[in-house]
Chain A
Amino acid sequence: MRNSRRFGFWTAVLCGLAVLHAVAIVVFVATSTGWFQAMQVDELVWIRLVIGWATAQLILGLLSLAIARRARRMPRGALGRARIVGLSVAAGLHASITTLSIGIILWAARASLGHVLGGTTPSLLFGLTHLAYPDLELEWVRTLFQTATSLQWATGTAIVLLATSCWFLLPLPRRQRFWWLFDAGMVLAFVAVSSMLSITPVEGDGASLAGAVVRVTVTTLFAIRVGLRLVGPLLSAFERIGFRSMVAARHLRAKKTGFLAASGTLSVLAVAVSSCMLISVLSVMGGFRADLMKKILGNHAHIVIDEALKELDDWQLILERVRATEGVVGATPYLQTEVMVSSLSNRAGAILRGIDPGSVSEVTDLAKNMTHGKLEYLEHPEQILDASVGTSRKSPLDAMLEAEPGEDVDPQPAAEAMPGLIVGQELARALRLVVGDRVTVVSPRGELGPTGPIPRTRPFRIAGIFYSGMYEYDMKHAYVALDVAQRFLKAGKAVSGIEVKVQDVEKAPAMATELVSILGRDGLRVRDWKMMNEQLFGALALEKLAMFITLGIAILIAGFSVFGTLTLLVQEKRREVGILKAMGASARGVIRIFVIEGLLIGMAGGLLGLGLGFIMTFAAEHFGIRMNPEVYYIDKLPVNLDPTEFALVGAATVVVCLAATLFPAYQASRVRPVDALRYD
């Protein structure tokens, strides 16, 4: 077929152009923030872009004309003629729509109608024009662009589909040659990116992020190509196992009728997509759980020892014993009560915790979470004012200190007398506090006055602000030094309890029971973090299970398509089943052949899906998908890769595919050789 050969060339060129086009869009989207900034500075950038874009469309249009001319010379009814004509029409439409709409927009802009093109559409063109002429607002222009964009999408899809089908018009050796070249290029590219680009991007560096994205993309493509190249040898190895695997592998390999081939490919893809989806969702949910757990464990101890009804008096002894226990990393006492914190502008309820600044870092991440101020200020509140600079209220003091270094400076006694208080970021925001500010803490544990209970109040100075990442903590928690709290609450030497950190978080429940027996005192409550957050983690586990079941149904539906494919395959191979049975294959042997085929389809799909899922979650984990912290209180999509989940999803896929094979395989085993071998 000489004609299709020639068209193959043009199709290839068109494919190449389409790939470039797609790459341009991807690059634009990936780097758009950078461009937006650049465009504000340099107006010429967008003009160049528009010109480049229009030129690309012009080339596309010319190509489509060339293809159309050739297609006209093809005889009517020749294989692939319709496809080629369709391709040429789609490409021509795409090019002319884009060029026309660019032209109209440029004209509208040149006409300087002085309006703003509001709103956003997923059109590169629209975005560009919007950037170029921010004061262009015309209803019809927007409508035009929405229409143009949808038409572009439609024609673009048509081009991709038609070009893919035209690709198969090329003679096989040519296609093979292309793939060899492609793979050679892939190997080179893989080696190049592996040696040149780092896989972990530097925070905030766009170029290194782009490099990492390129590396992961190239590695993925390389892995896919390697996988495809391995299919043949793997099936050959599989064939050597025995007669059943041999027949099964040959059936899958053999050139099938078009419908069965499409159905087979689709069922592999269905299994792949569903398992990929399931594993990605599970990873993200696991990520949320891990994130939450990290934050909870960072702010709370793994184990809390306290008494249900009263405070602990002899805590020193308990502390000693707990610290001496093996597996305990640290322990610290705390005193806790609910208070009201009021600033000049506002007031809010909070949980006041008296902590031992010396040992609290052994147990929680408070010291690490400090964004302003220092934990040490709790012990040395007099340093707060020295260190805090830049706020207007302290500048007179600083000025005074620096202006007269040699002289006797009058210290402010009020400032020194105030103990330090550390609050969370959200509480600080609500009360409009900065380090060094003065707040009043009101405790409900008041004294009885002549007119009834009088709440106890005391002034504190903000010694620091922390950010834990958990809104609950950032809004509700305030820390003071333990002795200050004891004095403030008139608790004497007692504490509320002891917080304990253990080596292995997962073994916390076991450690808790161990501590109970070590301490051996009645009335002591020893609770681990799982117990304390049972409801939260219970809800998360339930949610995850529900997700697994819901998305597992997607795998089930993929299983239906495996079922359909196998039923078709059994129909197509009826005669061969008859031959095999005539030669002495037993019904069980025939069942096994088709079960193996279904399993191979399922495993191929499952492996593909898990691989893609791995790459997706890996990329999300490494590159960080940004989220709005105002809404989610986290800035990146958390992802947690759990090998057990991968194994579980893989197992579920295989089980579903196995179940899907059973009935078609049974049907195959029921084929009677006499019927199958009938001559008609």
Chain B
Amino acid sequence: MSDPLVSVANVTKTFEHEGQSLEVLKGIDLEIGDGEMVTIVGPSGAGKSTLLHLIGTLDLPTRGTIRYQGQDVTLLGSSDLAEFRNRSIGFVFQFHHLLPEFTALENVMMPGLIHGSRRLEERARLLLDEVGLSHRLTHRPGELSGGEQQRVALARALLMEPKLVLADEPTGNLDSRSSDAVQELFFELNRRHGTTFLIVTHSRDFAGMMPRQVAMKDGRIDSDERRSLSTAKPTEQTPGNDAQPLENQGKPT
């Protein structure tokens, strides 16, 4: 493996709370290669989300470096960081965090609009089609089911063709059916586009399906297991089912 996509070196993060400092991350070293699917698991308070935020440049580490393909993003200025987030990272959150005033299509187009590109509608439509929501383009987030919202969020995260998509408990708020559909979508997109996914999850099933599992505990990495891809996975089904894996899933009617 050549230069890793992300390399986190000796990162610590300390929060100040009422005069007491709380060390949430106590020296993290992690490398994620291009096209990998990594999950972070661990008990609540282990620092999973904080690590995810740091990797996503939403927050800065107290110490340590985070490099993307060799570039240290902790040294970037705020507008460069914004530009970097816009181009290189996609986010999917536990609560979909879609903009309520905009339709599904507009929400998907939003990163492109922020970037200033105009001709995005075609691509946004394609993406929504890919996540199986081509019939819900003009619906607002409030009019979509939880699974649909999360799929819109996923489409939004992919719009700018980022190398890395970060997901923080993407299925945490979904019922098992919708959750399965969304999980399947992650694998599907990884296979099709080669996008790297870093997913924080509490779901054992989901974590069990992932080829690489990083376990965290008390702000440290407990274990980092890579598994062979031969374990039984729902995605490894017949190609016929693959073509349209998401139709009629996770939504009423």
List A residues at the B interface (Cβ < 8 Å). Answer: 242-243, 246-247, 250-251, 253-254, 575-576, 578-589, 672-674, 677, 679
Contacts of B79 in A (CB 8 A): 586-588
Listed from nearest, the 4 A-B pairs whose CB atoms lie closest are A584-B86, A243-B113, A250-B101, A586-B82
**Interface status of B206 (Cβ within 8 A of chain A):** no
Within 8 A of A (CB), among B88-122: 91, 93-95, 97-102, 110-111, 113-116
Tell me the smallest distance from the CB of B21 to a CB of chain A, in Å: 17
Tell me the smallest distance from the CB of B86 to a CB of chain A, in Å: 2
Tell me the smallest distance from the CB of A591 to a CB of chain B, in Å: 12
CA distance A673 to B78 in the complex (A): 13
Using CB atoms, name the residue of chain B closest to A252.
B101
Q: What are 25 contact pairs spanning A and B, CB under 8 A?
A: A242-B116, A243-B110, A243-B114, A250-B99, A250-B102, A576-B99, A581-B58, A581-B82, A581-B85, A582-B58, A582-B85, A584-B82, A584-B87, A584-B111, A584-B115, A585-B82, A586-B83, A587-B78, A589-B82, A672-B58, A672-B59, A674-B53, A674-B58, A677-B93, A679-B94
CA distance A248 to B59 in the complex (A): 26
Query: Given contacts A242-B116, A579-B97, are A586 and B53 in contact (CB under 8 A)?
Result: no
Contacts of A575 in B (CB 8 A): 97
Complex partner residue of B86 from A579, A583, A587, A677, CB under 8 angstroms: A583
Number of cross-chain contacts by CB at 8 Å:
74
Tell me the smallest distance from the CB of A303 to a CB of chain B, in Å: 62
**Interface status of B219 (Cβ within 8 A of chain A):** no
Q: Is the pair A583, B95 in contact by a Cβ cutoff of 8 Å? A: no
Contacts of B114 in A (CB 8 A): 243, 580, 583-585, 589
Contacts of B91 in A (CB 8 A): 582-583
Within 8 A of A (CB), among B55-99: 56, 58-59, 78-79, 82-87, 91, 93-95, 97-99
CA distance A490 to B59 in the complex (A): 99
List B residues at the A interface (Cβ < 8 Å). Answer: 53, 56, 58-59, 78-79, 82-87, 91, 93-95, 97-102, 110-111, 113-116, 156
A254-B100, A583-B91 known, 17 other contacts, Cβ within 8 Å? A243-B114, A247-B99, A247-B101, A250-B101, A576-B99, A576-B100, A579-B98, A580-B99, A581-B85, A583-B85, A584-B83, A585-B114, A586-B83, A589-B114, A672-B58, A674-B59, A679-B95
Q: Is the pair B85, A584 in contact by a Cβ cutoff of 8 Å? A: yes
Max chain B CB contacts within 10 Å: which of A246, A582, A672, A679?
A582
CA distance A242 to B83 in the complex (A): 17
Q: Is the pair A246, B99 in contact by a Cβ cutoff of 8 Å? A: no
Tell me the smallest distance from the CB of B51 to a CB of chain A, in Å: 12
CA distance A585 to B97 in the complex (A): 15
Complex partner residue of A246 from B56, B93, B113, CB under 8 angstroms: B113
Contacts of B85 in A (CB 8 A): 581-584
Using CB atoms, name the residue of chain A closest to B172.
A679
Contacts of B115 in A (CB 8 A): 584
CA distance A580 to B116 in the complex (A): 14
Using CB atoms, name the residue of chain B closest to A580.
B114
Tell me the smallest distance from the CB of A239 to a CB of chain B, in Å: 10
Using CB atoms, name the residue of chain B closest to A589.
B114
Using CB atoms, name the residue of chain B closest to A585.
B114
Q: Is the pair A243, B116 in contact by a Cβ cutoff of 8 Å? A: yes
Q: Is the pair B82, A587 in contact by a Cβ cutoff of 8 Å? A: yes
Tell me the smallest distance from the CB of A618 to a CB of chain B, in Å: 39
Contacts of B84 in A (CB 8 A): 584
Q: Is the pair B56, A582 in contact by a Cβ cutoff of 8 Å? A: yes
Using CB atoms, name the residue of chain A closest to B56.
A582
Contacts of A679 in B (CB 8 A): 94-95
Contacts of B87 in A (CB 8 A): 584
CA distance A679 to B52 in the complex (A): 14
Contacts of A579 in B (CB 8 A): 97-99
